[in-house]
Structure formats: structure tokens, C-alpha cells
């Protein structure tokens, strides 16, 4: 592999990794919030089932 081809690929991979590292905390926060919402939704669903 020649150097001219390797450099852009390396930069591309580094940028993707940096973006991924920065987006992980946001994704975790969102996932936690969604899990809480899912618990609430499941609770409401159970209440609704009991009513029938």
C-alpha cells in the first residue's frame, strides 16, 4: 500500500472513532431515559390490562 492512500484512510478512521467516542455518552443517556420510559409504559400497560 502506498503512503498517499494510507493517510486519508487513517484520518477517516480516526475521525470516525472520535465521533463515536463523543456520541457514546449521549447514546447512554438516551438509552437510560428510554429504559425509564419503557418501564413507565409497561406499568401503564399492566394497569390497562387489569382494568379489562
**Nearest-5° Cα angle at 51, 48 to 52:** 95
pLDDT tens digits, 3-38: 888 999 999 999 999 998 888 888 888 888 888 888
Q: Write out the three cell numbers for 43.
A: 406499568
For the chain, where are the E strands, in sequence order? none
pLDDT value for 9: 93
Q: Report the predicted TM-score, pTM, of the whole model to 2 decimal places.
A: 0.43
pLDDT value for 37: 86
Amino acid at each position: 500500500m502506498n503512503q498517499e492512500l494510507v493517510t486519508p484512510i487513517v484520518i477517516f478512521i480516526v475521525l470516525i472513532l472520535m465521533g463515536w467516542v463523543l456520541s457514546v455518552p449521549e447514546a447512554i443517556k438516551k438509552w437510560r431515559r428510554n429504559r425509564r420510559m419503557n418501564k413507565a409504559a409497561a406499568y401503564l400497560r399492566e394497569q390497562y390490562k387489569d382494568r379489562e
